[in-house]
Structure 1
Amino acid sequence: MKQIAVFLLFFVVVSCQYFDVKKTTSDAIYQEELKTFNWNEVDNYPSFLACESLQIKQEIKHCFETTLAKHISESLQNETIIVNQDVNDTIMLSFLISEKGELQINSIEIDSLTTHEIPNLEASITESLNTLPKIFPAVKRGQQVKTQFKLPIILKVDE
């Protein structure tokens, strides 16, 4: 019996370290949580009022990009553009949608030949973006966030 008591006492003394509860700080929990985020994805993409009825994330993104491209296209079609030669170019529009739904142009990549033929093209694109309907910002974990996009715009103008 004494041997069992000594064994149990030895077992309790040695095993105390297994009963220690390790405390974690809120900063450690925060750092672990940050590692689980995919910072390149949002829960909901930015959208226009016309896209609000859609539920699937990719459909909302497609609706947003299509509505934006259509608005720019219609705006450019309303302008009188005179060229000396045919223009067939793809313009890359890089922009940011703020957490307040404001569109900010980062860059507009236009070929030098296109710029030579249509010198006010960048101003026309900028003006068309200023007349966009209200944009609802992207959402990540219930918070409105900034998002950045690149949108190709195909430009075809015949003499």
Structure 2
Amino acid sequence: MRQICVFLFILTLTSCEYFKVKKTSSEAILKEELQTFNWNDVDAYPSFSVCDSLTLNEEKKACFQQVLTTHISGFLQDEIIIVTKDISDTIVLNFQVSETGNLKLMDAKIDAATVAEIPNIKSLLTQSLDSLPKIFPASKRGQQVTTEFQLPIIIKVN
């Protein structure tokens, strides 16, 4: 009987290790979460109201880019641009869409020959953004976030 009591006593002392609860700080949880977080991808891309009917994220992204490209191209076509040489150039525009839905032209990579023929091309591009329809910002985990992206625009003037 004494051996059974000693055995139960030892068993009780060693089994307490299994019931200890590890305390995890909120900083440790945050650090672990941030390591698994993909900062380069969003849950929903910025969009216009005409893109709302689409369901797939890639379709919405393509729709957003198409509406933006069409709007900028249409604006430039309506402008009277006089050149001395034919221009065929691809302009790469770097945009930022804020968490409030404001679109800002960050940079435009324009060939020197195009700038020589159309000195006000950058101001025309900026003016074209003033009449855009309302933009709904991108979201990540239910929060609206700022996103940046590139968009190529083909310029052909004869």
SS at 1:129 equivalent: helix
In structure 2, the partner of 1:113 is 113
Distance between the aligned counterparts of 1:149 and 1:130, measured in 2? 18
In structure 1, the partner of 2:51 is 51
In structure 2, the partner of 1:42 is 42
Distance between the aligned counterparts of 1:61 and 1:22, measured in 2? 44
Q: 1:91-147 deviations in whole A, cap 9, x for unaligned?
A: 110010000000111101101111001111111011001111111111111111111
Distance between the aligned counterparts of 2:11 and 2:102, measured in 1? 66
Distance between the aligned counterparts of 1:71 and 1:104, measured in 2? 15
Which residue type is aligned with residue 15 of structure 2?
S
TM normalised by structure 2 equals: 0.94
User: Structure 1: any 5+ residue segments left out of the alignment?
Assistant: none
RMSD: 1.2
SS at 1:91 equivalent: strand
In structure 2, the partner of 1:90 is 90
In structure 2, the partner of 1:60 is 60
In structure 2, the partner of 1:22 is 22
Q: 1:24-51 deviations in whole A, cap 9, x for unaligned?
A: 1222222222223211111111111111
> Is residue 8 of structure 1 aligned with residue 8 of structure 2?
yes
Distance between the aligned counterparts of 2:5 and 2:13, measured in 1? 12
Deviates more, 1:23-32 or 1:43-52: 23-32
> Is residue 72 of structure 1 aligned with residue 72 of structure 2?
yes
In structure 2, the partner of 1:134 is 134
Distance between the aligned counterparts of 1:87 and 1:3, measured in 2? 98
Which residue type is aligned with residue 62 of structure 2?
H
Which residue type is aligned with residue 107 of structure 2?
S
Moved over 6 A (4+): none
User: Structure 2: any 5+ residue segments left out of the alignment?
Assistant: none
TM normalised by structure 1 equals: 0.94
Distance between the aligned counterparts of 1:90 and 1:24, measured in 2? 53
SS at 2:16 equivalent: helix
Identity %: 56
Aligned residues: 158
